[in-house]
Structures are given as C-alpha cells and as structure tokens.
Amino acid sequence: MTHARGGASGNSRARLAEAVRRRGVTDPGVLGAVGAVPRHLFVPQALAARAYDDAALPIGYGQNISQPSTQARCLEALRLSGSDRVLEIGTGSGYQTALLARLVAQVFSVERVPQLAEQARAAILAAGIANVSQLLGDGTLGWRDYAPYDAIVVAAASPEIPQPLLEQLAPGGRMLLPLGPRDNQVLTLVRLSGGRAVSTPLAGARFVPLLGTFGFDA
C-alpha cells in the first residue's frame, strides 16, 4: 500500500464523525476517535479521495477496510475504558486498531496476511500511535503471551466462538464477533460471567471469513 500524501483536514475527519453520529453512535470517546484518526493513512492511495466516506473500501488480498460507522458501533458495544487491554483479531488496514488505540491502554493485534500486517504497521507508525503491539499469525489462536484481555474484537466472521479466544478473555470481559456462515452473520456480544459465556445478538452483519484453526478453512 502506498499511503495518500499530505494530511487530511480536520474538517474531513469532523464530517466523518458527524456521519457516524447520524448512524446512531453516541459514545463521545468513539466519536472523538473517529474525528481524530487520519483514515487516509489506512486506505490505498488510489482510493484516497474516498478515505473519509462512511463506506467500506477494498485494501487488497481479499480484505476490506470496514465502514467507519460499523466499526464505531462495534467499539461502542464493547463499552471500553481507558484502562482496558484489548486483543484485536484481524489487523487489516490498521484503522480499527488506531481507533482502539485512542480508547484503551494497550492494543494487541493479530493479522495472518504478511503484507497487510506490514502496511498496517507503517500506517500506525505514520499516525503517531505507540500503544499497539502486532503479531503475524493465526488469529483464531489469539495471543496467549499477553492474556487475559479485558476485551476482544474479531474483525472477521467465525462459524462459532473460537475456544482459545474465550480462554484468553478476563473474567467479566467482553468479546465482539460476527457469528454464522460465510455469507450471513449476526454481530454478537459475548460476556464472560461466572466462568460461562453469555451471548447477546446485536445485529445482522456480513464480514469476510475468519480463516484459521478455529475458524473457516482457507
């Protein structure tokens, strides 16, 4: 990925935050993150003119940078605090990683595609973000070295909740992931309470498949 040259005006980011607010997101922290993160750093240069549209965009390797309002709703549902340690499965473009980094103490992000991991690393660095750690590997296995996590967000569809991720969730922790078949899922919030997982369906969704040992086959 070649990053768009030059900076985006604060007006562009403010307009995107307002578009996200009109979609029903009310959390001031999430809206503030959308208004602060330079999304143009995370999209291919050929699509730079659309960087601040509330739209999903292709980033190559069969992946997309998700619609900002969708990402914002996911982050709002997790009810994040400034002290949380969060595991992100599917770094992708790194944009959601950057949003998370403004909302929590530390982000641990796993990506399986080497080229995307490197591009995201460069974009995160260019955005001046320092509280993100990245791992190249099978996201369905999580990242045990730094578990447990207060929250886990999975940016790809899984046929069921990957057991390793449940094992890495702190007591009282929250996990958000799209559950279901490849072509149609339900965005689901999972809470770990009393040693058991309690799932709450939130909305219909359509994400790229989560590939790996505890996800879909490639």
- At residue 172, does pLDDT exceed 50? yes
Which residue range(s) make up the domain with 119? 10-205
- In this predicted model, what pLDDT tens digit does every residue of 13-38 receive, in sequence order? 999 999 999 999 999 999 999 999 99
* Distance, first Cα to last Cα, the chain: 23
Q: Mean pLDDT over residues 127-131, rounded?
A: 97
- In this predicted model, what pLDDT tens digit does every residue of 63-113 receive, in sequence order? 989 999 999 999 999 999 999 999 999 999 999 999 999 999 999 999 999
Give the Cα separation of 5 and 21 in Å (integer): 27
Q: Mean pLDDT over residues 186-214, rounded?
A: 92
Rg (CA), the chain: 16
Contact partners, residue 109, CB within 8 Å, separation at least 6: 87, 88, 89, 91, 94, 97, 120, 132, 133, 134, 135
- At residue 8, does pLDDT exceed 60? no
Query: Which of 92, 36, 32 is closest to 67 using CA atoms?
Result: 92
- At residue 184, does pLDDT exceed 60? yes
Identity of the residue numbered 123: A
Q: For 217, phi and psi rounded to 5 degrees?
A: -75, 145
CATH of the domain at 98: 3.40.50.150
Active site residues: 66
User: Is residue 115 assigned to a domain?
Assistant: yes
- Contact in structure between 215 and 159 (CB atoms under 8 Å): yes
User: Is residue 63 assigned to a domain?
Assistant: yes
For the whole model, what pTM was predicted?
0.92
pLDDT tier, 136 (very low <50, low <70, confident <90, very high otherwise): very high
Q: What is the pLDDT of residue 218?
A: 77
The chain-wide mean pLDDT, for the chain, equals 93
From the centroid of its chain, how far is CA 99? 8
- At residue 176, does pLDDT exceed 90? yes
In sequence order, the β-bridge partners of residue 174 are 151, 191
Return the sign of the alpha-carbon dihedral for residues 46, 49, 51, 53.
negative
* pLDDT-wise least confident of 8-12, 17-21, 32-36, 49-53: 8-12
Provide the number of structural domains found in the chain. Answer: 1
pLDDT tier, 190 (very low <50, low <70, confident <90, very high otherwise): very high
To which residue do tokens 């790194």 refer?
Answer: 94
Q: What is the pLDDT of residue 9?
A: 67
Q: Mean pLDDT over residues 144-154, rounded?
A: 98
Q: What is the pLDDT of residue 195?
A: 82
Q: Other CB atoms closer than 10 Å to residue 183's CB: what's the count?
A: 8
Beta strands in 66-127 (DSSP E): 85-89, 106-111
User: Is residue 38 assigned to a domain?
Assistant: yes
